[in-house]
Amino acid sequence: MNSKKIAKMSQSSLSQKGQTASESPARVDMEIYFEALDNPYHPTDNPKGALPMNVAENHLCWEMLRDRIQQVTREHEIPDWVASYGDPAGIPRFREATASFLENHLFGTHVNPDSLAFSVGATSVIEMTSFLLADPSDTAVIPAPSYPVYTGDIGVIPGVIRYDLQTHEELEELKNGIPINTQKLEQAKKDIEAKGSRFKILILTSPDNPTGGIYSEKQLRETADWCIANQIHLIVNEIYGLSLIDISHPEIKEDYPNPIEFVSFGKIMSEYQNPYLHFWYSFSKDFGVSGFRIGLLHSFNEELIQAYRNAGLSHSISNYTQWVMSEVLEDKAFLEQFFSTYRERLTESYLIVRKSLKRMNIPFNPSFGSLFVWMDWSKFLSEESAEGEEKLWMEIYQQTGVLLTPTNGFGHKKKGLYRMVITSLNQSKLQVAMDKLEDFTKKK
């Protein structure tokens, strides 16, 4: 639809929230992203075309999944129940198939299908959980830098305030993991209460967006203990939980002198079984199907799951999607193959990026997982300000076609850091993008 064709009234007829929403794009780089998608790079037809690496898309294994899905739709008749209403929190078959997937691939421990509730992508899971756990004007603490869209997901409808907890300033400080501890949480709590709000939710993303860091089991346990003692809801978003880089690979091993083992919060939750601990997941990233819109909450808080079911009618996933994905999830051999191929390809893409960044002398945080590399381009800033940062980001795009994620909204104080999505392009295009960036830095 062409938005220019819609009549604009001189005075808004919308609610206050509606007016604010009409003026607040979900992401600052949305328009330029669509422009880049319309002008894609091609080695012969469009060598100066765009190489979008700003949106967290994972295209590394789509053909494998597509073939499996096409087999499902070719070989199976659509069951009748698909055409009717179902449980708004997810149909039982899909909940069971997903519980078994989480058990085998992430938690390593039994998952009760009744502890899961689904809705349309992590975006809606974040929104739903926030408004069910917190009241408007309550605060959710998120270690910075973090996913910019959390602000809108927790803010627009739930009315929850985002607090960017500054855990560090320089990339170097991440070398032993994301430096969060209970002293920093205590300090945030005092700060929030002094402003007249309540610290109601703590959100950790592991593997992290954008740093690629992970939280150690010890950190997760200590943080869980502190949250429970303070009656604060701790949610761990493991949307990148199976996007793990092989840090034992000989080419990169040296980057991890103190390797951290990824332990899913789901495993820890199964021991605690506490109503203040929750887990988010989505199929958008590890499976690379952001367009399917499948997200889930896992919690031992029965009241929360019931509230989710009762309030979630407008957020339910289509039964067709649930049916197709149940068939895929029930094929255990396929999942094994899919994730082992994915992990290999993810590591290969990471190696391409890491090698180029080393050559360019651009500092970056060695990623444990996620679809990202978080890099420090500050030495190229003409001025250390939001404007300087935007100017450099745009200059990189205009001169190379490489669209990085602008840092605006990540909540980090230091200027000149950008996120690169390493899974949105195939590996030959990824190499082209890195070569173009290298040329850019040589000319700077």
Residue closer to ligand PLP, measured from CB, 128 or 269: 128
CB of 281 to ligand PLP, least distance (A): 9
Q: Does 284 bind ligand PLP (CB under 6 A)?
A: yes
Residue closer to ligand PLP, measured from CB, 282 or 301: 282
Name, in order, each residue with C-beta under 8 angstroms of 239's C-beta and a sequence gap of 6 or more: 122, 205, 209, 280, 281, 282, 284, 285, 286
Q: Does 282 bind ligand PLP (CB under 6 A)?
A: yes
**Among residues 36, 53, 122, 244, which is the contact residue for ligand PLP, using CB under 6 A?**
122
Count the alpha carbons within 13 Å of 291 in the hemisphere toward its beta carbon: 4
Q: Does 148 bind ligand PLP (CB under 6 A)?
A: no
Residue closer to ligand PLP, measured from CB, 286 or 327: 286
Q: Which residue is nearest to ligand PLP (CB)?
A: 121
Residue ranges in 186-205 that form contacts with ligand PLP under rule CB under 6 A: 205
126, 127, 176, 169: which is closest to 144 by C-alpha? Answer: 169
Q: Does 147 bind ligand PLP (CB under 6 A)?
A: yes
Q: Does 211 bind ligand PLP (CB under 6 A)?
A: no
**Among residues 86, 241, 288, 295, which is the contact residue for ligand PLP, using CB under 6 A?**
295
CB of 58 to ligand PLP, least distance (A): 10
Residue 45: exposure state from Cβ atoms within 10 A (0-12, 13-18, ≥19): exposed
CA 264 and chain centroid, separation:
15
Q: By the 8 A CB rule, do 90 and 329 touch? A: no
Per-residue binding letters, 389-408, with ligand PLP (x by CB under 6 A): --------------------
For the beta carbon of residue 125, count every other beta carbon within 10 angstroms. Answer: 29
Q: Does 130 bind ligand PLP (CB under 6 A)?
A: no
Residue closer to ligand PLP, measured from CB, 189 or 372: 372
How do beta strands 402-403 and 372-376 pair?
A: unpaired
CB of 154 to ligand PLP, least distance (A): 11
- In three state form, how does the secondary structure of 223-263 look? HHHHHHHCCCEEEEECCCCCCECCCCCCCCHHHCCCCCCCC
Q: Which residue has the tokens 């129940």?
A: 81
Alpha-carbon torsion (49, 54, 59, 60), positive or negative: positive
**Among residues 98, 139, 151, 209, which is the contact residue for ligand PLP, using CB under 6 A?**
209
Alpha-carbon torsion (386, 387, 391, 397), positive or negative: positive
CB of 56 to ligand PLP, least distance (A): 4
Residue closer to ligand PLP, measured from CB, 142 or 224: 142
Q: Does 56 bind ligand PLP (CB under 6 A)?
A: yes
Ramachandran sector of residue 177 (left: φ over 0; alpha: ψ -120 to 50; beta: rest) = left
d(Cα 332, Cα 336) in Å, to the nearest integer?
6
CB of 292 to ligand PLP, least distance (A): 9
d(Cα 194, Cα 132) in Å, to the nearest integer?
24
Q: Does 237 bind ligand PLP (CB under 6 A)?
A: yes
Query: Hey, what are 279's tokens?
Result: 């887990």
**Among residues 91, 174, 239, 277, which is the contact residue for ligand PLP, using CB under 6 A?**
239
Residue closer to ligand PLP, measured from CB, 237 or 365: 237
Name, in order, each residue with C-beta under 8 angstroms of 248's C-beta and a sequence gap of 6 or more: 259
Residue 207: asked if its preceding bond is cis (omega within 30°), the reply is yes
Q: Does 119 bind ligand PLP (CB under 6 A)?
A: no
**Among residues 121, 241, 312, 406, which is the contact residue for ligand PLP, using CB under 6 A?**
121
CB of 237 to ligand PLP, least distance (A): 5
CB of 382 to ligand PLP, least distance (A): 30
How do beta strands 116-119 and 161-166 pair?
A: unpaired
> In residues, how long is the chain?
444
Inter-axis angle of helices 92-102 and 319-330, to 10 degrees?
40
CB of 411 to ligand PLP, least distance (A): 13
Q: How many residues bind ligand PLP (CB under 6 A)?
A: 13
Residue closer to ligand PLP, measured from CB, 315 or 354: 315
Considering only 39-47, 120-128, 265-273, 314-322, which stretch makes contact with ligand PLP by CB under 6 A? 120-128
d(Cα 169, Cα 167) in Å, to the nearest integer?
7
**Among residues 58, 98, 119, 123, which is the contact residue for ligand PLP, using CB under 6 A?**
123
CB of 4 to ligand PLP, least distance (A): 28
Residue closer to ligand PLP, measured from CB, 294 or 437: 294
Q: Which residues bind ligand PLP (CB under 6 A)?
A: 56, 121-123, 147, 205, 209, 237, 239, 282, 284, 290, 295
